[in-house]
Amino acid sequence: MKLHIPLDFKINRLRLKLVKTGIEKGLSHQETLKYSQRLDKLIIKSLFLKHYV
pLDDT digits (tens, 9 = 90+) for 1-53: 456 679 999 999 999 999 999 999 999 999 999 999 999 999 999 999 888 87
Closest CA to 43 of 10, 5, 2: 10
pTM for the predicted model, two decimal places? 0.85
Q: Domain for residue 39, yes or no?
A: no
Task: Tell me if 6 is assigned to some domain.
Answer: yes
Domain extent at residue 53? 1-19+44-53
The answer to whether residue 38 sits within a structural domain is no
State the pLDDT at residue 45: 93
Give residue 2's pLDDT.
57
| Total of domains in the chain | 1
In a domain, 37, yes or no: no
CA dist., res. 2 & res. 50, Å (int) = 23
- Rounded-to-integer distance, Cα 11 and Cα 6, Å: 9
For residue 3, what pLDDT is reported? 60
- pLDDT score of 50: 86
Please report whether residue 27 resides in a domain.
Answer: no
